[in-house]
Amino acid sequence: MGKSVDDAINEAGSSLTRPLPHWLGLAVSGLAILLSIAHLFLAIFPEVSELERNAAHFAGFALLCALLYPGFGRRARGNWPLIIDGFIGIAVAAAAIHLALAEDAIYERGVRLSPLDWTACAVVLLGAMELSRRAAGIVIPILIFLSLSYVVLWGQWVGGVFHFAGLSWETLFFRSVYGDDALFGSIARISSTYVFLFIIFGAFLIQSGAGDFVIDLARVVAGKLTGGPGLIAVIASGLTGTISGSAIANTASTGVITIPLMKRAGYQPKFAAGVEAASSTGGQLMPPIMGAGAFVMASFTQISYEHIVVVAALPALLYFLSVAFFVRIEAKRLDLKPIPTEGRTLRMALRDGGASFIFPVGLLIWLLVSGFTPTYAAVFGVIAVIVSSWLTKRPMGPKGVLKALELGARNMVTSAILLCSVGLVVNVIATAGIGNTFSLMIANWAGGSLLIAIVLVAIASLVLGMGLPVTAAYIVLATLSAPALAGMISDLAVIDAIASGTLPQAAQPIIMLANPEAAASLVAPMPRSEAIALVTSLPLEIAAPLRELAVSPEAALAALLSAHFIVFYLSQDSNVTPPVCLAAFTAAAIAESKPMATGIASWKLAKGLYIAPVLFAYTPLLSGDWMAALQVFAFAVIGTYAIAAALQGCMETPMGWLLRALALAAGLACIWPFSLTVNAIGACTTVALLVLNIQVGRNPAAKTG
């Protein structure tokens, strides 16, 4: 098979780090191992305060980042660049530790900073900006600078809704370090607990050989099917996504195996690379480990992580099916044949490496379902990997455990720095009330249309994603736009209640305050169009209390979850959408295809990222009502197949433009959220087209359209 997928994952993302002298490399490895052990210990035995843990978390990774990511470029020669970077890392780490220990003294002085506190605050803020630049480019440092300067300098000169009187520098420094959403606040807590622990868990899976098992399993399951090489990429990337937590790392790891396999089978290089990029992007959506975004979502919404990953299952499956449909249809269009499995069987795959993947992931899911916290589940998952590896061909001894601990910390450097640093931006958004203001602007720009609001969020996501990693883009977008989306989704329930004449009596006076003429019509059903016009005309001071009275707590919770899932899915599109789509560009390098052409191919294949948000907004897919969710899912599966067939121009055999247009209409009808009858017509039309297409394939003389 050549290079193993585990070796590829180990190498993914390492191209930006600098080579270190042997002695310093050993020191960095020791620090990485120590960080992993400390976080695992604190997950079970929380011996320090949350602030101290978060500050130590930032300090340790600040030092690692300064040493691994050069500030002067990899080509800088001599010892001075390394000495300067080491000094920066030590200074930032020492300042962070000092601030964690100085909190009580600062409060005792009446929230006054001493000269040493001032210096430490300046060092950690400047350090956060510089290390973010090294880890992910210039965008986050610019956002941090603009945010901090807004609340102390230029916000007072801005007119209108964004006018901000300003804070003193002392207040800014204090809130930036000790605020609930600040550098060592809630997002840093997520980074130092859930995110890092699951990245360690993934590192242990990688070191145990789970990545090779995933490829073997995908080969056995999909190798003999039409479009087998592409389906292998879909399955392998989905499963590997539960390990790597990064679309780019996922692409680089599984892509070195799946892309050449697809090219040998006859797929065009750009399509093969697009399949890998789109599939790897879906790894962030696949439960039980959905990357950092799921933990941030749990923190933002106060909805349990367990509930989030359960309701995420159907949308994630829909996404991967949508990519699989494109793969199979393209294989049919090109008349590609299945590939041999090279003698591998399911029994052989399970025997060689199955235990190191199935047992730990199974235990993890059981622990989460049983009510254990994600931190406990991750720690016991790590122990399960070590134990179960002894049932495979790659048992993990002390050396393997240490390598996994080091790999986990190295893989966490970028995420830790970015998650802590982006807290500075979120803190300003919360302090200045920008989130609520921006949400109002989205609602106004959308003119009451939820679909237009989703499009606006998608555009904002794409723009942010050009410079921000996916998780950071989700954090910023969720802070700015999720409240508006949640409110507009709740309004749908209000509209339904008014249209059906079932609006609670307690809510009717609220509407009468804004529209006394509507009083008589509220006691009886009215046309839905009139209900929509009535609700969208209400000012916010009326609409907000109306939602609280007219929408049940369960529906309000579903609306909040749907809003965050919309943002979460749309934040992934920067991986596969030109002009900047890093996962697609990574795949293009492996496939030796044109980067922009690959980006366009991956964008077309990842249509599930745009279909799912519409379903989240208008259907009960995330409501927790499984019968309703399965109904939506079933029609959506048929619809995505029809849409894929229309875009590719083929089902079982190529179609003409007329039938392609009909297939597109049928697919859109299947996902139309307002009428079960329209869904049924779309599904029946799709089935009829498929039957006709099969008949045409058997009798080429009968081709039409």
Q: What is the mean pLDDT of residues 139-149?
A: 90
DSSP code string of 310-363: HHTHHHHHHHHHHHHHHHHHHHHHHTPPP---TT--HHHHIIIIIHHHHHHHHH
In-domain check, residue 373: no
In-domain check, residue 515: yes
Q: Which of 185, 167, 173 shows the shortest CA–CA distance to 112? A: 173
Range among 256-260, 352-356, 699-703 with highest mean pLDDT value:
256-260
| Alpha carbon separation from 44 to 48, 170, 187, 658 (Å, rounded) | 12, 36, 20, 62
Q: What is the mean pLDDT of residues 474-479?
A: 84
The pLDDT, as a whole number, for residue 560 is 93
In sign, the C-alpha dihedral spanning 534, 536, 541, 547 is: positive
Q: Which residue has the higher pLDDT, 547 or 170?
A: 170
CA distance 249 to 280: 8
The residue type found at 594 is K
Three-class secondary structure of residue 207 per DSSP: helix
> Which residue carries 């843990």 as its tokens?
53
Three-class secondary structure of residue 607 per DSSP: coil
Q: Are residues 561 and 630 in the same domain?
A: no
CA distance 638 to 663: 11
Full domain range(s) for residue 143: 12-167+178-187
Q: Domain boundary residue among 571, 600, 617?
A: 571
pLDDT in tens, 90-140: 999 999 999 999 999 999 988 899 999 999 999 999 999 999 998 877 888
The angle that helices 470-500 and 540-550 make with each other, rounded to 10 degrees, is 70
In-domain check, residue 349: no
In-domain check, residue 76: yes
Q: What is the mean pLDDT of residues 671-686?
A: 93
Q: Are residues 634 and 558 in the same domain?
A: no
In-domain check, residue 81: yes
Q: Are residues 560 and 671 in the same domain?
A: no
Q: Are residues 16 and 106 in the same domain?
A: yes
Confidence of residue 15 (pLDDT cuts 50, 70, 90): very low
Report how far apart the first and last C-alpha atoms of the chain are (Å, whole number): 44
In-domain check, residue 172: no
Structure tokens at 592: 């030796």
The pLDDT, as a whole number, for residue 467 is 61
Least confident of 128-132, 171-175, 301-305, 701-705: 701-705
Confidence of residue 527 (pLDDT cuts 50, 70, 90): confident
Q: Are residues 17 and 147 in the same domain?
A: yes
Q: Which residue has the higher pLDDT, 369 or 49?
A: 49
For 387-436, list the strands marked E by DSSP.
Answer: none
Q: Are residues 523 and 638 in the same domain?
A: no
In-domain check, residue 153: yes
CA distance 144 to 450: 30
CA distance 278 to 272: 10
> Which residue carries 């099917």 as its tokens?
225
| Alpha carbon separation from 262 to 272, 275, 277, 458, 702 (Å, rounded) | 6, 9, 13, 31, 32
Range among 75-79, 224-228, 293-297, 601-605 with highest mean pLDDT value:
601-605
Residue 177 near residue 457 (C-beta atoms within 8 A): no
Structure tokens at 509: 């006076």
At a CB cut-off of 8 Å and minimum separation 6, what does 105 contact? Answer: 114
Q: Are residues 567 and 662 in the same domain?
A: no
φ/ψ (deg, to 5) at 71: -80, -15
In-domain check, residue 113: yes
Least confident of 219-233, 324-338, 550-564, 678-692: 219-233
The angle that helices 22-44 and 398-432 make with each other, rounded to 10 degrees, is 70
Q: Is the model's pLDDT at 691 over the cut of 70? A: yes
The pLDDT, as a whole number, for residue 640 is 95
The pLDDT, as a whole number, for residue 672 is 92
What's the domain count of the chain?
3
